Amino acid sequence: MALVTWSARYELKIPEVDSQHRRLIEMINDLDSAMQQGQGKIAVGRILDGFVAYTQYHFGREEQLMDAVRYPGSARHQREHIAFITRLIDLRDGHRKGQIGLSSGAMSFLSDWLVSHIQGTDREFVPHVLEAALP
């Protein structure tokens, strides 16, 4: 069973962002599934590396959108991104070194943070993007 199931309530009506959010949720589910199935440190590590890289890419794209529309909450939004990436990289690095196992608590943190961020902070910049009629 998926840790997070995509729902219309997560849609922001910005196709690129919605597509990326779907992919992030898929990646969290892949990571959770690999962990639950005991796929091993290397397999979980590979998925975690991909999740870090894609999250960085996605956050960069969101920040470009916010800059393009001169979103006034951009600095606060970016600080949230930085805090999450820092925590995610700490998890990844701890996993690589064998110091941190990916627990259900860590997976809950990742999924809860992403869902909360999409439904809260991300939703706040949507009117600015839609008003600017960016692709």
The answer to whether residue 21 sits within a structural domain is yes
CATH at residue 44: 1.20.120.50
The answer to whether residue 5 sits within a structural domain is no
pLDDT at residue 98, as a whole number:
81
Write the CA distances from 21 to 37, 50, 74, 118, integer angstroms: 24, 14, 18, 8
Sequence-ordered alpha helix ranges (H) in the chain: 15-36, 41-68, 74-96, 104-117, 123-132
Range of the domain at 48: 15-132
The answer to whether residue 3 sits within a structural domain is no
- Which residue would you say has higher pLDDT here, 101 or 107? 107
Q: How many domains does the chain have?
A: 1
The answer to whether residue 6 sits within a structural domain is no
Reported as a pLDDT band with limits 50, 70 and 90, residue 45 is confident
**Model confidence, pTM:** 0.91
pLDDT at residue 11, as a whole number:
96
The answer to whether residue 2 sits within a structural domain is no
The answer to whether residue 52 sits within a structural domain is yes
